[in-house]
Amino acid sequence: MRPIILLFICALMLSSCKNKPNETNTEPVQHQEIAYAKFGKDIVPNDAVIAKSMAAHYIAMKEGDSIDSKMKAKVKKVCQAKGCWMTLDLGNDNEVMVKFKDYGFFVPKDIAGKEVVINGKAYVKEVSVDEQRHYAEDAGKSTEEIAAITSPKRTYSFEADGVLVAQ
C-alpha cells in the first residue's frame, strides 16, 4: 500500500512542476493595466526606480562602482543593426547605455519612445573613442558625426539581465 501512495505523490508532484520559461519569451506580462513584452530573465515592474532617481545615483558613482538595480525609463535609441543595445533617458540631457547580459537576448529595433523596465547592474565607465564610433555607426550617424568623436567619455552604463517593454 505504501509504494502505491508514494508513487501517487511523486506523480502528482511531477505533474505540477512547470518548465523554466524561455529566456526570449515575448508573451505579454500584464501588470497594473500595462501589458509588457518580456526579454531575458523574468522580472516584475514593481519597485523599479524612476529614471530621475537613478540619475542621482549615477552622479554619485565613481568609475568602477556598480549597484544592482531595477529602473523604469523611456527608450531614446536602439541599435538598428540587431537590437543589441539601447539608450534610456535619465532626464536633464543624461542618458544610460544599456547592454544585455552575455548577449543572451536583444530587444526590438522599433521601441524608441516606449517605456521599459530593466533589471541588472548599473555602473559608470569610460568609453573609448573606438567604442563610441562603433555605437555611432550602429545608430546610423553620418561619417562626419562619427569622425567628430575624438575623446573618451564618462558614461552611465547598465548591464540588463531582464527587460520589460510596455506595449
CATH number at residue 78: 2.40.50
Alpha helices in 78-151 (DSSP H): 129-138, 143-147
Find all residues with CB under 8 Å of 25, minimum gap 6, and list them.
Answer: 38
Report residue 29's pLDDT band, with 50, 70 and 90 as the boundaries.
low
Task: Please check whether residue 22 lies inside any domain of the structure.
Answer: no
Task: Please check whether residue 17 lies inside any domain of the structure.
Answer: no
Task: Please check whether residue 47 lies inside any domain of the structure.
Answer: yes
Task: Please check whether residue 82 lies inside any domain of the structure.
Answer: yes
Give me 49's grid cell: 526606480
Domain count, the chain: 1
Q: Which range marks the domain in which residue 55 is found?
A: 36-166
Task: Please check whether residue 31 lies inside any domain of the structure.
Answer: no
| pLDDT, averaged across the chain | 85
Task: Please check whether residue 30 lies inside any domain of the structure.
Answer: no
Report residue 28's pLDDT band, with 50, 70 and 90 as the boundaries.
low
Q: What is the pLDDT of residue 33?
A: 73
State yes or no: pLDDT of 12 exceeds 50.
Answer: no
Q: Cα separations (Å) of 57 from 49, 65, 121?
A: 10, 11, 12
DSSP characters for 5-29? HHHHHHHHHHHH--PPPPTT---EE
How far, in Å, CA of 131 to CA of 108, rounded? 22
Q: What is the pLDDT of residue 135?
A: 87
State yes or no: pLDDT of 13 exceeds 50.
Answer: no
Task: Please check whether residue 20 lies inside any domain of the structure.
Answer: no
pLDDT for 69-125, tens place per residue?
999 999 999 999 999 999 999 999 999 999 999 999 999 999 999 999 999 999 999
Overall average pLDDT of the 123-131 stretch: 93
Overall average pLDDT of the 35-43 stretch: 96
Task: Please check whether residue 25 lies inside any domain of the structure.
Answer: no
How far, in Å, CA of 57 to CA of 8, rounded? 54
Residue 58, number of CB atoms within 10 A of its CB? 21
Q: What is the pLDDT of residue 139?
A: 83
Report residue 32's pLDDT band, with 50, 70 and 90 as the boundaries.
low
Decide if 83 contacts 131 (C-beta within 8 A): no
